[in-house]
Structure 1
Amino acid sequence: MQKRSGLLAVLFLCLSAVAFGQGGTIKGFVYDRSTGEPMIFTNVLLEGTKLGVQTDVNGYFSLPQVPEGTYTLFTSLVGYDTSRTTITVTPNSVITKKLFLGTKQTELKGVEISARKTEKITQVNAGTITVTAKDIKLMPSSGGEPDIAQYLQVVPGVVFTGDQGGQLYIRGGAPSQTGILLDGVTIYNPFHSIGLYSVFETDAIRNVDVQTAGFGAQYGNRTSAILDVRTKDGNKNRLAGKVSASPIMARVMLEGPLVKAKREGGSAVTFLLSAKHSYLSSTSESIYGGFGEPFKSGLPFDFTDLYGKITLSGDNGSKLNFFGFNFKDKARLLDPSTHTENAAYKWNAAGGGATFVVTPGSSSALINGRLAYSKYDVELNEANYVPRKSGVSGFEGAIDFTYYFPRYSQIRYGIEVSGLYTTLDYVNDKQITSNLERRNTTGAIYVSYRKNFSEKFIFEPSFRAQYYSSLSKLSPEPRLAMKYNITNNVRLKAAGGLYSQNLLSTKSDRDIVNLFTGFILSPDESLKNTEGKEVTTNLQTAYHALGGIEVDIDKVELTLEPWYKNFRQLIEFNRNQQFASDPDFQVGSGLARGIDLSARYSRNRLYLWGVVSYQKIDYKSIDSKGAIQTYPPPFDRRMNINLLASYAAGKKKDWDLSARLNVGSPFPFTQTQGFYETLDPTEAGIQTNINTQNGSIGILYADAINGGRLSWYHRFDLSARKRFILSTNSNIETTLSVSNVYNRNNIFYVDRLSNSLVYQLPIFPSLNVTWNF
Structure 2
Amino acid sequence: MTKLKYILSTGYCNQQRGRTAKSGIFFILIIFYLTLWGIPNVKAQQASIQGIITDSASGQPLEGANILLKNLSDETLHGIATDGNGFYQIGNIHPDTYLLRITFVGHMPYEDTLSLKENDRQNINISLQPDTEELEEVVVSLEQTTQVEAGRQQLSASDLGRVPTPAGSGDLASYIQTLPGVVSTGDRGGQLFIRGGTPTQNMVLVDGTLIYKPFHILGFFSVFPEKLVSGADFYAGGFGSQYAGRISSVIDVKMKDGDRNNTKGSASLSPLLGEIVVEGPLKKGKSSWIASTRRSLIEQTSPTLLGEEQPLHFESQYLKMSFFGEGNSRCSMMGMHTYDRGKLDPVEDDIFNWRNMVFGGRCVVLPEESDLLFDMNAGISHIANGAGSAENPERFAKATRFNLDIKLTQYSGSIRFDYGGFLHVNSLNYDMSEQFGGPQTGSELFPSLGTFVQSTIPIGNNVEAKPGLVLSYHRHNYPVSLEPRFRLSWQPWGNEEQSFHAAVGRYLQPITGVTGRRDAGSIFTAWMPSPVGNAQMEAIHFLAGWNQSWQNGLNISAEAYYKKLDRLPVSVWSNFARFTTDLAMADGVSYGSDLRLEYARNSLHAFIGYGYSHTEYETRQEQFEYWFGTSSQKYHPSHDRRHQLTAQLNLDINSFSAAINWQFGSGLPFSSPMGFDELLRFEEKLPDVKREHGTTRVIIEKPNNARMPSFHRLDLSLKRSFHFQNNQLTLRGGAINTYNQTNLFYYDVYNHQQFNQLPFLPYLAVNYEFQ
Using structure 1 for the length normalisation, give the TM-score: 0.89
Match of 2:737 in 1: 740
Q: Deviations over 1:56-98 (max 9, x none)?
A: 2222222223332332322123333221123332222332223
For residues 146 and 172 of structure 2, the distance between their equivalents in structure 1, rounded to whole angstroms, comes to 27
For residues 239 and 383 of structure 1, the distance between their equivalents in structure 2, rounded to whole angstroms, comes to 42
* Residue 249 in structure 1 maps to residue 273 in structure 2: yes
2:344–2:520 Cα contact (<8 Å) kept: no
CA offset at residue 471 of structure 1? 1.8
Match of 1:505 in 2: 513
Matches within 5 A, 1:342-361: 342-361=349-368
Match of 1:216 in 2: 240
1:124–1:481 Cα contact (<8 Å) kept: no
CA offset at residue 274 of structure 1? 1.5
Corresponding residue to 2:723 among 721, 725, 731: 725
Match of 1:534 in 2: none
For residues 578 and 334 of structure 1, the distance between their equivalents in structure 2, rounded to whole angstroms, comes to 17
Matched residue SS, 1:297: coil
Q: Deviations over 1:745-770 (max 9, x none)?
A: 00011233443321101111111111
Match of 1:698 in 2: 697
CA offset at residue 447 of structure 1? 0.7
For residues 570 and 432 of structure 2, the distance between their equivalents in structure 1, rounded to whole angstroms, comes to 13
Match of 2:648 in 1: 644
Match of 2:458 in 1: 452
For residues 759 and 118 of structure 1, the distance between their equivalents in structure 2, rounded to whole angstroms, comes to 54
Q: Deviations over 1:638-668 (max 9, x none)?
A: 0000111111111xxx321111110111111
Match of 1:125 in 2: 149
For residues 338 and 104 of structure 2, the distance between their equivalents in structure 1, rounded to whole angstroms, comes to 36
- Return 5+ residue gaps in structure 1 as ranges: 262-267, 289-294, 527-536
Match of 1:275 in 2: 293
2:81–2:144 Cα contact (<8 Å) kept: no
For residues 693 and 240 of structure 1, the distance between their equivalents in structure 2, rounded to whole angstroms, comes to 71
Q: What amino acid is the match of 1:165?
A: G
Q: 1:615 to 1:119 in 2, by over 3 A?
A: farther
Matches within 5 A, 1:291-370: 295-336=306-347, 342-370=349-377
Give the number of aligned pairs. Answer: 730
For residues 741 and 711 of structure 1, the distance between their equivalents in structure 2, rounded to whole angstroms, comes to 19
Q: 1:584 to 1:141 in 2, by over 3 A?
A: closer
Matches within 5 A, 1:138-537: 138-261=162-285, 268-285=286-303, 287-288=304-305, 295-336=306-347, 342-382=349-389, 387-404=394-411, 409-426=415-432, 430=436, 434-487=440-493, 488=495, 489-508=497-516, 510-523=517-530, 525-526=532-533, 537=534
**Which is further off, 391-400 or 157-166?**
157-166
For residues 7 and 395 of structure 1, the distance between their equivalents in structure 2, rounded to whole angstroms, comes to 33
Match of 2:99 in 1: 72
* Residue 629 in structure 1 maps to residue 633 in structure 2: yes
Q: Deviations over 1:130-174 (max 9, x none)?
A: 101111111122345411011111222111211022421111111
For residues 119 and 732 of structure 1, the distance between their equivalents in structure 2, rounded to whole angstroms, comes to 44
CA offset at residue 464 of structure 1? 0.7
Q: 1:695 to 1:394 in 2, by over 3 A?
A: farther
* Residue 712 in structure 1 maps to residue 683 in structure 2: no
1:281–1:302 Cα contact (<8 Å) kept: yes
CA offset at residue 574 of structure 1? 2.7
CA offset at residue 345 of structure 1? 1.1
For residues 754 and 525 of structure 1, the distance between their equivalents in structure 2, rounded to whole angstroms, comes to 34
For residues 422 and 721 of structure 1, the distance between their equivalents in structure 2, rounded to whole angstroms, comes to 46
Q: 1:616 to 1:486 in 2, by over 3 A?
A: same
For residues 246 and 383 of structure 1, the distance between their equivalents in structure 2, rounded to whole angstroms, comes to 28
For residues 280 and 418 of structure 1, the distance between their equivalents in structure 2, rounded to whole angstroms, comes to 38
Q: Deviations over 1:430-461 (max 9, x none)?
A: 46662222221111111101112233111111
* Residue 39 in structure 1 maps to residue 66 in structure 2: no
Match of 1:95 in 2: 122
Q: Deviations over 1:101-154 (max 9, x none)?
A: 333344334x26x27x78996646111101011111111223454110111112
1:79–1:104 Cα contact (<8 Å) kept: yes
For residues 143 and 265 of structure 2, the distance between their equivalents in structure 1, rounded to whole angstroms, comes to 31
1:439–1:470 Cα contact (<8 Å) kept: no
**Which is further off, 84-93 or 470-479?**
84-93
2:722–2:730 Cα contact (<8 Å) kept: yes
CA offset at residue 713 of structure 1? 0.5
For residues 206 and 583 of structure 1, the distance between their equivalents in structure 2, rounded to whole angstroms, comes to 39
2:410–2:418 Cα contact (<8 Å) kept: yes
Matched residue SS, 2:158: helix
For residues 485 and 463 of structure 1, the distance between their equivalents in structure 2, rounded to whole angstroms, comes to 25
Match of 2:16 in 1: none
Q: 1:557 to 1:605 in 2, by over 3 A?
A: same
Matched residue SS, 1:418: strand
For residues 605 and 61 of structure 1, the distance between their equivalents in structure 2, rounded to whole angstroms, comes to 32
Q: 1:689 to 1:422 in 2, by over 3 A?
A: farther
Q: What amino acid is the match of 1:470?
A: H
Q: 1:523 to 1:642 in 2, by over 3 A?
A: closer
- Return 5+ residue gaps in structure 2 as ranges: 1-9, 12-26, 626-630
Q: What amino acid is the match of 1:212?
A: A
Match of 2:17 in 1: none
For residues 161 and 525 of structure 1, the distance between their equivalents in structure 2, rounded to whole angstroms, comes to 29
For residues 21 and 676 of structure 1, the distance between their equivalents in structure 2, rounded to whole angstroms, comes to 82
Match of 2:19 in 1: none
1:201–1:274 Cα contact (<8 Å) kept: no
Match of 1:25 in 2: 48
Q: What amino acid is the match of 2:172?
A: I
Q: 1:143 to 1:103 in 2, by over 3 A?
A: closer
Corresponding residue to 2:767 among 746, 765, 770: 770
CA offset at residue 525 of structure 1? 5.0
Matched residue SS, 1:206: strand
CA offset at residue 680 of structure 1? 4.7
For residues 45 and 258 of structure 1, the distance between their equivalents in structure 2, rounded to whole angstroms, comes to 35
For residues 9 and 431 of structure 1, the distance between their equivalents in structure 2, rounded to whole angstroms, comes to 48
Q: 1:367 to 1:768 in 2, by over 3 A?
A: same
Matched residue SS, 2:326: coil
Matched residue SS, 2:220: coil
Match of 1:552 in 2: 549
* Residue 60 in structure 1 maps to residue 87 in structure 2: yes
1:143–1:739 Cα contact (<8 Å) kept: no
CA offset at residue 214 of structure 1? 0.8
Q: What amino acid is the match of 2:49?
A: I
For residues 700 and 386 of structure 1, the distance between their equivalents in structure 2, rounded to whole angstroms, comes to 27
**Which is further off, 95-104 or 441-450?**
95-104
For residues 435 and 663 of structure 2, the distance between their equivalents in structure 1, rounded to whole angstroms, comes to 34
Q: What amino acid is the match of 1:411?
A: F
